[in-house]
Amino acid sequence: MATLPFMSFVVMLLLFSTQISSDTDIITQFHSLHDGTTNTLVNGTFELGFFSPGSSTNRYVGIWFKNIPIKTVVWVANRDHPISDKSGILSITKEGNLVLFGKNGTTHWSTNITTKSSTSSFIARLLGTGNLVLNDEKENNGYDVYLWQSFDYPTDTFLPGMKVGWNLTSGLNRRLTAWNNWDDPSSGQITYGLIRSDIPETKIQNGSLVLYRSGPYNGLRFGATQKLKHVPLFILNFFYKKDEYYFTYQPRNQSILSRFVINQTVSALQILKWTEGKQRWMLHLNIPRDECDNYNRCSSFGICGMMGKSSMCECLSGFTPKSPQNWSVKDWSQGCVRSENWSCREKNKDGFIKFQNMKVPDTKISWINRSMTLKKCKTKCWENCSCTAYANSNIIEDGSGCILWFGDLLDLRQLPDSGQDLYVRSHTSEI
């Protein structure tokens, strides 16, 4: 009978593989991860180990999806300090730092934490969410208080369970920074994150140059988000607290893999989902979505995508092109200026015009009060001659809160089926 030896072979194989996997479950001071071996950390759909991207021969420590045939890296430790050969060792020092050593013990990356005690009970584990975490096992502060976690230092990918945003106490800004190219994960110029402000909104930037902004969160969504025709893939939650603000996302269906990635090739944020049938990533959403999503496409007091207009850019009513000549040949870069008859706080020469379905202007020079009524908001704007517009900060139900804008109104667009009311100061007899 051939069955028996075969069975014992299977049992042996099982024993052997459990031994290996229990061996490689965690990293401790006494158990490192060596490049050039097949050792990796695995948990659920994620795997951590050494890899070389694309056609590069450089070695990096990274995390990728385990169960899909297309190697998709979601996090890189030493993105700016590659190791040129397979000498890498990921280890924990007696001070409790997770450190990546290269040849001759040179440090290529470190978690850089400072701990009080010097113990041997530090462990690094990969969680099922793809989060690499560092704990002191002896500290009885619970497993979800980490000394360090990779989710606090994203590379180019945003996953369910991660936060994008600020810890205002420590100044930690969790934002995405694109790979330079697909052979090189080093920090690129394109970033995606929340700006630090009383009125936080997300921006895609090239260095300090803004390429896209989402509009502030209005209680339901970031202002520029259009209503989706199909059932959304995920739910986005925004949190605004005293010491931190951030957003997270949750997939509606936990069994569908998804990711947000900032892609330098196209200077865009891409939301992708894995399709089991086709065995590939499908683009769910590309931001910016259209021409009008590009930052400040129609310049000061210009409005992009006005419904029922043939031209892409229009001046807000009460405003005229700064250079009619340039405007007529679709050079929008000079924007619009107030028509001459406006006079601050003068009856019949100053008032507010309501625009519906608006992505509200850039909040760079703005003021917010989250409990003020719209009526008081209007009065407050009227009183100050440099106030150019006002709107509710929250649009749930009848709306609440107050945002004031000062100076030029930038990056305005109209959205066919979302947005909100914006009141722009202008020459009008109706006040």
Ligand X SMILES: *[C@@H]1O[C@H](CO)[C@@H](O)[C@H](O)[C@H]1NC(C)=O
Interface contacts to ligand X, rule CB under 6 A: 25, 43, 103-104, 109-110, 112, 125-129, 167, 169-170, 182, 189-190, 206-207, 244, 253, 255-256, 263-267, 276, 323, 326, 331, 334, 339, 341, 367, 369, 371-372, 376, 384, 386, 406
- The minimum distance between CB 9 and ligand X, in angstroms, equals 27
- 312 or 368: whose CB is closer to ligand X? 368
The pairing of strands 89-92 and 33-34 is antiparallel
The CA distance from 382 to 359, in Å, is 22
- The minimum distance between CB 215 and ligand X, in angstroms, equals 20
- 279 or 371: whose CB is closer to ligand X? 371
Residue 74 · residue 50 · CB < 8 Å:
no
- The minimum distance between CB 111 and ligand X, in angstroms, equals 7
Tokens of 303: 């409005």
Residue 404 · residue 377 · CB < 8 Å:
yes
Of 353, 59, 419, 401, the closest CA to residue 220 belongs to 419
- The minimum distance between CB 3 and ligand X, in angstroms, equals 33
- 1 or 278: whose CB is closer to ligand X? 278
Q: Which amino acid is at 351?
A: G
- The minimum distance between CB 103 and ligand X, in angstroms, equals 5
- 220 or 374: whose CB is closer to ligand X? 374
Whether the bond between 200 and the residue before it is cis, its omega within 30 degrees of 0, is no
Q: Which amino acid is at 268?
A: A
- 108 or 359: whose CB is closer to ligand X? 108
Tokens of 75: 């996090």
- The minimum distance between CB 4 and ligand X, in angstroms, equals 33
DSSP string for residues in 260-286: EEEETTTTEEEEEEEETTTTEEEEEEE
- The minimum distance between CB 127 and ligand X, in angstroms, equals 4
- 186 or 326: whose CB is closer to ligand X? 326
- 94 or 376: whose CB is closer to ligand X? 376
CB within 8 Å of 3: residues ≥ 6 apart: none
Residue holding tokens 């060596």? 34
The CA distance from 344 to 110, in Å, is 58
Half-sphere exposure of 119 (CA within 13 A, CB side): 11
> CB atoms < 10 A from the CB of 123, how many?
19
- The minimum distance between CB 190 and ligand X, in angstroms, equals 6
- What 3-state class would DSSP assign to 431? coil
- For the chain, percent helix, then strand, then coil, each to nearest 5? 10, 40, 50
Residue 88 · residue 102 · CB < 8 Å:
yes
The CA distance from 366 to 359, in Å, is 15
- The minimum distance between CB 395 and ligand X, in angstroms, equals 18
Of 165, 188, 155, 183, the closest CA to residue 261 belongs to 155
Cβ-proximal residue to ligand X, closest one:
128
- 295 or 406: whose CB is closer to ligand X? 406
- The minimum distance between CB 56 and ligand X, in angstroms, equals 14
First to last CA, the chain: 96
CB within 8 Å of 238: residues ≥ 6 apart: 217, 222, 245, 246, 247
- 352 or 367: whose CB is closer to ligand X? 367
- 55 or 255: whose CB is closer to ligand X? 255
- The minimum distance between CB 2 and ligand X, in angstroms, equals 36
The CA-CA-CA angle for residues 167, 218, 333, to 5°, reads 95
- 107 or 356: whose CB is closer to ligand X? 107
